[in-house]
Amino acid sequence: SQQGEEDPQALSIQEGENATMNCSYKTSINNLQWYRQNSGRGLVHLILIRSNEREKHSGRLRVTLDTSKKSSSLLITASRAADTASYFCATAFFQGAQKLVFGQGTRLTINP
């Protein structure tokens, strides 16, 4: 299966700490995307990293991609209570058109 696997499944940290989530996948990709889902709502796109990129930043988010290890990590620095959500990685590959396959997600809880 192409599906990404995320680690850990759940993470609980104190406000102000950094949170790191990991995503592993099995086959070649065009890009890897991270999404956030607040409880019971739809997903919101956070950041996209292309297969020829190694690191990307967006505000307090830092994403790395290691295609040799087929893995990616999402770092949220200086976490806030509002960061409490589920985070999903999605791997994109081309099969007639770009197809996205989502991982099972990491549930992040930020404790005040």
Partner 1 sequence: DVKVTQSSRYLVKRTGEKVFLECVQDMDHENMFWYRQDPGLGLRLIYFSYDVKMKEKGDIPEGYSVSREKKERFSLILESASTNQTSMYLCASRPTGGFNEKLFFGSGTQLSVL
Calpha distance 65→107 (Å, rounded): 21
Q: Provide the minimum distance between the beta carbon of 112 and partner 1 in the complex, in angstroms, as a whole number.
A: 26
106 binding partner 1? (CB under 8 A): no
To the nearest whole angstrom, how small is the minimum distance from the Cβ of residue 15 to partner 1? 26
Of 21-29, 33-41, 67-75, 77-85, the segment contacting partner 1 by CB under 8 A is: 33-41
CB closer to partner 1 out of 22 and 102: 102
User: Which distant-in-sequence residues (6+ apart) come within 8 Å of 6 by Cβ?
Assistant: 21, 22, 23, 87, 88, 89, 103, 104, 105, 106
